[in-house]
Amino acid sequence: MVQATALPRNETGIETALGILKQRFGEKFHTGQAIREQHGHTTTWIANQAPDGVVYPQDTAEVSEIVKICAEHKVPVIAFGTGTSLEGHINAPAGGISVDMSEMNKVLKVYAEDLQVVVQPGVTREDLNTHLRDQGLFFPIDPGANASLGGMTATRASGTNAVRYGTMKDNVIALEVVMADGSVIRTASRAKKSSAGYDLTRLMVGSEGTLGLITEITLRLQGIPEAISAARCSFPSVGDACKAAMMAIQYGLPIARIELLDALSVRAINTYSKLALPEEPLLLLEFHGSEAGVDEQTEMFRAIAQEVGGTGYETAANAEERNRLWKARHDAYWAIQTLRPGTQAFATDVCVPISRLAECVQASQQKLAELELLGPIAGHVGDGNFHSALLVDMDDAGERARAETFVGWLNDLAISMEGTCTGEHGIGQGKMPYLERELGAATAYMGAIKRAVDPDNIFNPGKIITV
């Protein structure tokens, strides 16, 4: 495992806060080793840094009380959703208290006529869409994992539908947030637009729990489309697949999803999900709209695909067949691990302008071959975002070093192409060294904001920036 930097611990403050929280929250508060380790580790190769205690609040008032206790004794507070983050977001490098939001899992109010919903942070995206289904509405952001909406908001999540529906920053209308002194603020009203003051909603979206604890979220919804159709198409190379995606976007084709799987990823999902797809670079697509509109979109993309050498273009309007394809795509992380049993999959992501996507992906494949690494590539190529899942023997120091070399190289390559070191995984601990390279002096202003709203650095210390 990669050892994450430890921060100084406030032993006296932690011990005092543990005693107060135990007395106040009783069975909602836990200090057992197993549950602490569960809340200090994510699906990453960054070593576990467990909190000293875990508390399960049930409403905003309890979150406020927890923060006030921790603030008084200068004890770190780390929010926990479902633990699916990939860059060490929930580690506790200075110890402290993990605030598990899983019991704050109510859909508070659906405003169907306004296409809005208000939820607590522990509601998962799948639970929300199940709740909305009989009203003809859905929430479109789909990062793959059944993540909590609080965690998705805090990490500015994205996913397969982002090419049409945007990311969390485009779909969060307002927030309720507990600040570092325990006070509770609302960042905006439910109005569709506003020119009233600083945009605190966007400040909190993507702040990774470093500025406050989100306790309520107002989200934008969509109507379930009249028609949905999926399609798949194979290509001679990853570059050709990327070119097809780029042409579709440049032509203004309103694709809902456009996902890339390289040949290795296709081989893995064939085995894992019992499919029989051609083991060549593959695009999976989904089209939303009216019956006529969807038919037009599918035929337009067929022509684009043929122009760059695409073969085996097939569509699927049947819901069962569509769901089987997308489940296979969402299971790709687990499927890829079957390619090399005994290794750990370490997923990293970057995002570049769509015009540089093919170049970036092809360079990545060449670098992986040069370093003798197995790293299948998959991505949300409609917005220039892709992932490489490195399969690393963690007992082989040389292989670990080569993997770290690749990750650093890929981040720097994306930045050099006027892209970003992370399109959707976030900074957390793992990407901190690259943020300043990407944004330069802007990180000093991030630090100034952090110090202003959290002067004692109790919220998720050791993440995003050093203060």
Q: What is the pLDDT of residue 3?
A: 67
Distance CA 334, CA 350 (A): 20
DSSP structure class, residue 411:
H
- Does 9 have pLDDT greater than 80? yes
pLDDT tier for residue 46 given thresholds of 50, 70 and 90: confident
Nearest CA among 213, 215, 211, 214 for reference residue 461: 211
Share of the chain above pLDDT 70, in %: 99
pLDDT tier for residue 317 given thresholds of 50, 70 and 90: confident
Q: Which residue has the tokens 């929430």?
A: 139
Nearest CA among 204, 208, 212 for reference residue 188: 204
Write the pLDDT tens digit of every residue in 56-101.
999 999 999 999 999 999 999 999 999 988 899 999 999 999 999 9
Mean per-residue pLDDT, 129-150: 94
Distance CA 203, CA 88 (A): 21
Supply 387's token pair. 């992932």
Tell me the domains of the chain and their CATH numbers: 11-102 (3.30.43.10), 107-223 (3.30.465.10), 227-334 (3.30.70.2190), 339-439 (3.30.70.2740)
Distance CA 201, CA 36 (A): 31
DSSP structure class, residue 230:
E
Q: What is the pLDDT of residue 42?
A: 64
Write the pLDDT tens digit of every residue in 230-279.
999 999 999 999 999 999 998 999 999 999 999 999 999 999 999 999 99
Q: What is the pLDDT of residue 165?
A: 95
Q: Are 213 and 178 in contact (CB under 8 A)?
A: yes
CA distances from 96 to 46, 71, 275 (A): 18, 11, 46
Q: What is the pLDDT of residue 45?
A: 76
Spell out the alpha helix ranges (H) of 355-422.
Answer: 357-370, 397-416
Q: Are 129 and 140 in contact (CB under 8 A)?
A: no
Distance CA 216, CA 194 (A): 19
**If DSSP codes are grouped into helix, strand and coil, which group holds residue 55?**
strand
β-strand pairing of 77-80 with 97-100: parallel
Mean per-residue pLDDT, 353-381: 94
pLDDT tier for residue 2 given thresholds of 50, 70 and 90: low
Write the pLDDT tens digit of every residue in 141-190.
998 889 999 999 999 999 899 999 999 999 999 999 999 999 999 999 99
- Does 11 have pLDDT greater than 90? yes
Mean per-residue pLDDT, 297-319: 93
Q: What is the mean pLDDT of the chain?
A: 95
Nearest CA among 159, 146, 71 for reference residue 105: 146
Nearest CA among 99, 19, 18 for reference residue 52: 18
